[in-house]
Amino acid sequence: MSSPTNSPAAVNDEKAPYEPKKALPLVLSPITTNLFLPDDILLSSLSRISRLYYPTFSLVSKSFRALVASPELYQTRSILGRTESCLYVCLRLLNESNLRWYTLCRVPDRKLTNFSGGHLLVPILSRYAPPAHWSSVVAVDSNIYAIGGPIHDAPSSSVSVLDCQCDTWREAPPMRVARSYPTATVLDGKIYVAGGCEDCTSLDCIEVFDPKTQTWDSVASPGTERCERLVYKSVGIEGKYHLFGGAGHVAYDPKEGRWDSVGMDLDMGRSWVSYCVINNTLFYYNDREFKWYDYKGRFWRKLMGLERLIKFLCYSRVNLAAYGEKMAVFWDTFVPSSSKNKMIWCAEITIEKHDTYDICGKTEWFDVVLRVPKSYELVHVLAATV
């Protein structure tokens, strides 16, 4: 594990996280030593390089910056089967509604240790981000959707989309119903949204968005009493859309168009917990424990192998994200020698499934990836495929 002195420099500006003014040291590969190569050769070469290096490549020149964000590059990556999962992190300054978005990148010349992965969080270049703090955020393919949330203390039906290929925001078709604190989840490429609406008897109390057709549709309500309080968690697993709340736990089968009552064994509790789905398996972290849900046995099992990592998570807010077929874990800690700053950490976990009843986690690396003023908090962590 690298020491804090090898981590990103401390931040002195209380209003904004550290954003390097100088280009990161760059170890140029043969394809970047000649900036006059034809674009088609550069496209072919860049498409074979991990996107984790793209933020650094964009510092080479304006033409490289445009090339890295070009649709042609990502079409080439797709044809060559080079698409990969990329992590995005959202931070919020307390008492502000605007969010600041970062992406994880690799620093080419950063010294690797037994646990350090040589990664940093760098701000995305987009100047616009949705103003709502309490939006529900999900990723579908290369797009991140920020859905609803209160704006100026009023429910909102707005939907904003971050195109992770060029890191720019745009507006998507709004929901049929304005929502303050919705919960959203992805199942079979569609986005299901529930909760946060004022009229729980509305036919649009639960909606589903199809990114391919860019249209919203209604989902049959599980019942007014249930819908009223089923607002705080949702997850797509085993082909069903699960909703959790004070009125119980129900699951919707899109193929049959039917809701069923489900026992509370799948519930993760009322307290704030972070959870994610990897290869159709649900994981969560709470009370210094990682667990996974045995869908056949219908009970939670402890995720073994992460005992050393758990020691670093004490008194931290932890965020999980499905990172391809791996798990990304983000958390924050205060800088030991400072009362003004804190460190954002990241760990990459490989999920090893030995048999039906034995799933273990293996820590590939963990390290400090950003330093921010203590007034910043982690809001969202998720991965897009680009």
* pLDDT for the residue numbered 42: 79
Give the global pTM: 0.85
| pLDDT at 369 > cutoff 90 | yes
128-269, superfamily in CATH? Kelch-type beta propeller (2.120.10.80)
Q: Going by C-beta distance under 8 Å and a sequence separation of 6 or more, which residues neighbour residue 113?
A: 1, 2
* pLDDT for the residue numbered 176: 94
Rounded distance, CA 170 to CA 164, Å? 11
Rounded distance, CA 280 to CA 174, Å? 29
DSSP secondary structure code for residue 182 in this structure = -
Give the residue from 205, 268, 266 showing the smallest Cα distance to 232: 268
Task: Return the SS3 of 127.
Answer: coil
pLDDT bin (cut points 50, 70, 90) of residue 354 is confident
pLDDT bin (cut points 50, 70, 90) of residue 321 is very high
* pLDDT for the residue numbered 11: 38
Rounded distance, CA 250 to CA 239, Å? 13
Q: Following CA atoms 167, 172, 178, 181 in sequence, which dihedral angle do they give, to the nearest 10 degrees?
A: -30
* pLDDT for the residue numbered 117: 64
pLDDT bin (cut points 50, 70, 90) of residue 14 is very low
DSSP string for 94-116: TT---EEEEEEEE-TTPPP-SS-
Q: Which amino acid is at 189?
A: G
Parse the chain into domains and list their residue ranges: 33-83, 86-124+271-378, 128-269
| pLDDT at 9 > cutoff 60 | no
Highest mean pLDDT of the ranges 62-71, 100-109, 294-303: 294-303
Task: Return the SS3 of 336.
Answer: coil
Higher pLDDT, 199 or 252: 252
Exposed/middle/buried for 108, CB within 10 Å: 0-12, 13-18, 19+?
middle
* pLDDT for the residue numbered 109: 63
| pLDDT at 228 > cutoff 60 | no
Q: Which residue has the tokens 């309500």?
A: 221
Rounded distance, CA 162 to CA 99, Å? 13
pLDDT digits (tens, 9 = 90+) for 21-76: 333 333 333 334 444 556 678 788 889 999 998 888 887 778 888 888 888 999 89
Region 168-193 average pLDDT: 94
| pLDDT at 2 > cutoff 50 | no
Measured at the CA of 306, the angle between CA 301 and CA 310, to 5 degrees, comes to: 105
Q: Which residue has the tokens 């192998």?
A: 305
Structure tokens at 329: 């874990």
Number of other CB atoms surrounding residue 112 within 10 Å: 12
Total residues found in the chain within this entry: 386
CB-based contact 141:384 (threshold 8 Å): yes
Rounded distance, CA 82 to CA 179, Å? 37
Q: Which amino acid is at 60?
A: V
Rounded distance, CA 346 to CA 54, Å? 19
| pLDDT at 224 > cutoff 60 | no
- The runs of H, that is alpha helices, within 160-235 are 224-229
Report helix angle 71-79 to 39-46, nearest 10.
50
Structure tokens at 120: 């940093």
Give the residue from 224, 242, 222 showing the smallest Cα distance to 233: 242
